[in-house]
């Protein structure tokens, strides 16, 4: 099965609650294998959102493999299932970074609901509103900037320029990078065009445009946006 169509949950298991879980959520959601080598290969190649590690058949090395992948890929969630008597093992796994650890007596319906919630929380949420200061926000969907509740009129290029800077606060961009992102790659215009637009933006969103605290000049580089952290 191609990675693009691969189920989003991957389990290293041999029967138990995962077998019942598979009958509940279906093959489009979960794939299970009892082979640690296959599990390791799929974990890296198809990038599931949830890795379920059941002991046995999983060993400590298999759990550590899943945790290593989680450290590389923050959106991955790791769930451990172990025999009901293995309380210390589950607590140690939680301390090591496992997101949830359950006894193998857990009800499959509850297990499925818990994993679905974990998966939902792992999905990046689209940011539609970017904050510049406590009283100034950009709405990327409405293409609006509001300051103290009032609409701030921006030209299209001003809005695009501010959006680029606000999407990565604290990151310094060169004038060339801003030209490429806002005007177009390979734009042969004068880099001072960026300076002019920054000056216009400062006049509209800075408390004191002559002493900017948000749209900051980075000497020898270009510009960055410093949101107000108060």
1-19: pLDDT as tens digits: 333 346 789 999 988 888 8
* Number of structural domains found in the chain: 2
Which run of H or of E encompasses 150?
strand 150-152
Of 122, 137, 152, the position where a domain reaches its end is 122
Can you give the residue range of the structural domain that contains 109?
3-122
Handedness of CA 117, 120, 121, 127 (dihedral sign): negative
Q: Count the residues in the chain.
A: 230
pLDDT surpassing 60 at residue 158: yes
Specify if 230 maps to a domain.
no
The model's pTM: 0.53
Pair (79, 164) in one structural domain: no
- Give the residue from 101, 122, 143 where a domain finishes: 122
pLDDT in tens, 63-122: 999 998 888 777 789 999 999 999 999 999 999 899 999 999 999 899 889 998 888 876
pLDDT at 53 over 90: yes
Q: Of 122, 140, 160, which residue sits at a domain end?
A: 122
């Amino acid at each position: 099965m191609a990675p693009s169509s691969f189920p989003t949950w991957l389990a290293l298991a041999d029967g138990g609650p995962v077998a019942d879980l598979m009958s509940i959520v279906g093959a489009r959601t979960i794939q299970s294998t009892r082979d640690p080598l296959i599990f390791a290969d799929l974990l890296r190649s198809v990038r599931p959102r949830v890795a379920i590690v059941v002991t046995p058949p999983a060993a400590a090395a298999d759990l550590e493999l899943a945790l290593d992948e989680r450290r590389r890929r923050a959106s991955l969630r790791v769930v451990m299932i172990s025999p009901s008597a293995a309380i210390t093992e589950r607590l140690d796994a939680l301390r090591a970074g496992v997101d949830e650890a359950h006894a193998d007596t857990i009800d499959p319906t509850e297990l499925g609901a818990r994993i679905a919630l974990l998966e939902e929380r792992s999905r990046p949420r689209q940011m539609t509103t970017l904050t510049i200061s406590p009283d100034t926000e950009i709405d990327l969907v409405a293409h609006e900037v509001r300051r103290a509740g009032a609409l701030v009129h921006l030209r299209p290029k001003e809005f695009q320029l501010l959006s680029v800077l606000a999407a990565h606060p604290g990151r310094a961009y060169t004038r060339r990078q801003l030209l490429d992102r806002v005007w177009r790659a390979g734009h042969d215009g004068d880099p001072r065009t960026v300076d002019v637009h920054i000056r216009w933006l400062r006049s509209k969103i800075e408390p004191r445009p002559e002493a900017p605290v948000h749209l900051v000049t980075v000497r020898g580089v270009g510009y960055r946006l410093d949101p107000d952290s108060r």
